[in-house]
A and B are shown apart, each in its own frame.
Chain A
């Protein structure tokens, strides 16, 4: 009897169709939300057919702490960002001191890309922020997907409404549409590739298309991704941000 029960459970959760949107989003959050992360990244920004490339390293701890430092090109080398619980700071080598980024600026383009500062530093569980509904199945980028409709249940979210196409196999949201409160489509995220790290499928190649700009996209490729490793606490300090 026990064996039959376990078999049925296995069918429902893994092999068969899932019908519980919370269970699906939990699998998505498990893949994408980390305790800590350390990576190197390449950012390709295409505006009107002109492509510029940037490189940076990033650290994040939980939902409130993040650090990014640009390493290329020469013009941006040494530009650093620090996110703490009470705000975000930028350090520009030419200025030699950290400056707080005003709240409304966090939703603006980061380094001229289609990603905003908020997008880059996002590491919160969707389940805690949104009411979730499973609206059906669809195919996106050749993958069979669950389509989830997310409506925000808290005020402090960058996007009031999201639609996710979650790959039924990897539980990676291969396509995400981000909407404003007005219902206007603002951005589209395509997760083109992921890396299997431990028991997670972590997004490693992400394309962001800002629908409010014309003829632009930004693509970020993460390398040397290390998840849930210890990060020295000094990294998330203003002293480290302003170091010479």
Chain B
């Protein structure tokens, strides 16, 4: 075996240029995989973070009917905010519990009407969850008792409103009666999330309750945990205590479930990239077999079995793969870690990059040792697997005829 290794090692350097070219293709493929995987992971984390902050929390509590008809935003199916419910939610491991009211409204005067989504929120508590206090680009953040709103930047632009102007909201109460309120625009926010900046506004929960005739009610309660992994267990416990309510851990959010399935689909995609990249190795090994027919014939005539010759050639291919993978890992990791800290601004590539995507224009890559190791092993595996096909012709090679060919 040592001899085989030695021979393979020597052969690796016999045509250095060819070995390097084959190695480069593996290196590029491995680097691309690390790059793409880290980007996808970063995007996934960004989406999870946004979904948790803006939509579901780690656990979301609504009435069952609200959950079923959520697309219609049925205010009549709001949750009663009882002390018992709060007591049950504020348990060990819970960092924050906050209530929200989500309602649809047409904004605008005269001929201009823009469909918008209003959120009644608890401004104080939401600083740790929504974090809108950090997203104000003009004006100030709202306080719990303010008769004021925060408008998304794009929504403000479309309405032709600025800080200090009055926003008139006319909508329907939970009992379908017309209702309205004048609110001062106290701040304008920019999240970088197209859908939110274009159509969402926030007002204090108390004002939303008064506007919509929902005293001591909210359409949803959001719970943030210290350890998000415990969400399914805690959700189960709350559900057990309040069987009439819908208690959903964030892992059940349809967007996140979709992401998980996309991630496994991408693994197949990565392997295909590698197989294509490794076709250069297959080609190299095919040439090697043809070139060294006499030599292989000699080795076989000297008593080396077909298995050993195949092993020698596969090891040679593996060495190319190993070198390529190491170099690819270095390049991929370097770039990905750089973009982990620097981030990549998608608006550089397209102004509508985040139009309706649940992630912001800045995506921070998320490389991990597991990603790098996976790409390395995939590179090594693919380079040995693809070598087998051209190399197995060696078994058919007759030593006497091989020696006569040249």
Contact = CB atoms under 8 A, between A and B. Distances in A.
Interface of A: 45, 47, 52, 75-76, 79, 90, 92, 94-97, 99-100, 102, 109, 111-112
Q: Which of B110, B179, B181 has the largest count of A CB atoms less than 10 A from its CB?
A: B179
Interface in B151-185: 168, 170, 172-173, 175-182
A92 B173 contact: no
Contact of A111 (B106, B176, B180): B176
Interface in B1-41: none
Contacts of A52: 175
B178 A92 contact: yes
Contacts of A99: 168, 170, 180
27 contacts: A45-B175, A47-B175, A52-B175, A76-B177, A79-B177, A79-B178, A90-B170, A90-B178, A92-B170, A92-B179, A92-B180, A94-B179, A94-B180, A94-B181, A94-B182, A95-B168, A95-B170, A95-B182, A96-B182, A99-B168, A99-B180, A100-B110, A111-B177, A111-B178, A112-B175, A112-B176, A112-B177
| Majority SS at the chain B contact face | strand
B168 A97 contact: yes
A45 B175 CA distance: 10
Given A109-B176, A112-B175, A95 B113 contact: no
A234 B11 CA distance: 104
Given A75-B213, A92-B180, A112-B173, A102 B168 contact: no
B76 to A, nearest CB: 8
Interface in B221-238: none
A45 B76 CA distance: 15
Given A52-B175, A112-B177, A102 B113 contact: yes
Nearest to B174: A112
A94 B181 CA distance: 5
Interface in B110-136: 110, 113
Nearest to A93: B180
A95 B177 contact: no
Contacts of B175: 45, 47, 52, 112
Interface of B: 106, 110, 113, 168, 170, 172-173, 175-182, 213
Q: Which of B106, B173, B180 has the largest count of A CB atoms less than 10 A from its CB?
A: B180
Contacts of A100: 110
Given A90-B170, A97-B168, 14 more contacts: A45-B175, A52-B175, A75-B177, A79-B178, A92-B170, A92-B179, A92-B180, A94-B181, A95-B182, A96-B182, A99-B180, A102-B113, A111-B178, A112-B177
Contacts of B181: 94-95
A97 B168 CA distance: 10
Nearest to B111: A100
Nearest to B210: A94
Nearest to B110: A100
A212 to B, nearest CB: 13
Nearest to B109: A99
A94 B178 CA distance: 11
Nearest to A45: B175
Q: Which of A45, A52, A92, A102 has the largest count of B CB atoms less than 10 A from its CB?
A: A92
Q: Which of B168, B173, B175, B179 has the largest count of A CB atoms less than 10 A from its CB?
A: B175
Contacts of A96: 182
Nearest to A75: B213
B262 to A, nearest CB: 39
Contacts of A90: 170, 178
B289 to A, nearest CB: 74
A99 B107 CA distance: 11
Nearest to B168: A95
A76 B177 CA distance: 8
Nearest to A101: B178
Q: Which of A75, A94, A97, A99 has the largest count of B CB atoms less than 10 A from its CB?
A: A94
B223 to A, nearest CB: 29
Q: Which 3 A-B pairs have the closest CB atoms?
A: A112-B176, A95-B180, A92-B180
Nearest to A100: B110
Contacts of B177: 75-76, 79, 111-112
A69 to B, nearest CB: 13
A112 B177 CA distance: 5
A96 B181 CA distance: 9
A157 to B, nearest CB: 24
A112 B181 CA distance: 18
B144 to A, nearest CB: 20
A102 B175 CA distance: 20
Contacts of B172: 112
A187 to B, nearest CB: 16
